[in-house]
Amino acid sequence: MDINEKLDLVRSIGADHVIDYRREDFIRDRIRYDRIIDVAAHRSILDCRRVLTPSGVYVVIGGSTRRILQAATVGRWVSMTERKKMGVLVYTKPRTGDLDKLRDLLADGTVVPVIDRVFHLSETAEALSYFGQGHVQGKVVISCLSTEREPRSPGSP
């Protein structure tokens, strides 16, 4: 998948503005952003802080360990001292109603998951290798479901 296809994919799932960090330096633009979802974290969190609106939100979902730790520490400080919210997206126990809201967003098509490939549990090593190549577009799924029905004895469920 070439870069234009990648950018189109991100737009197709709802991004208003997509930046190719290799071609555009969004830090130098005079644009201010309400939300930044940083999938690569190539810029420092302080650079990103400068381009947020006063109540903007910055979330890192990928990148180097250094950038993720920076977002977790400096981002927490920024979030405590300013109206801006900055940090790392991590899984936590969902609050009451979060899963219901997510279900509704999926059901009405507001959120459309992008699945790159599905691997069977027995192919986990291949799935990790594929993921590690860095060209995944969406999620890699490891399924525990059998693709073939196993014979069942009469009367078994």
Radius of gyration of the chain (CA): 20
Smallest Cα–Cα separation from 40: which of 54, 21, 25? Answer: 21
Cβ pair 87, 59 in contact under 8 A: yes
Q: Show me where the domains of the chain are located.
A: 3-107, 113-147
User: Distance (Å, rounded) from C-alpha 54 to C-alpha 27?
Assistant: 16
Burial of 71 (0-12, 13-18, 19+ CB in 10 A): buried
Average pLDDT of the residues of the chain: 82
Mean per-residue pLDDT for 135-143?
85
Topology at the third CATH level for domain 3-107:
Rossmann fold (3.40.50)
Q: Which of 1-5, 58-62, 72-76 has the highest average model confidence (pLDDT)?
A: 72-76
d(CA 46, CA 59): 13
| Tens digits of residue pLDDT in 118-136 | 999 999 999 988 888 877 8
Joined tokens for residue 118: 């599905």
Nearest to 55 by CA among 34, 73, 71: 34
- For position 57, what pLDDT does the model report? 93
Helices (H), 51-145: 65-81, 98-107, 124-132
Between CA 107 and CA 24 the distance in angstroms is 35
Higher per-residue confidence, 60 vs 157: 60
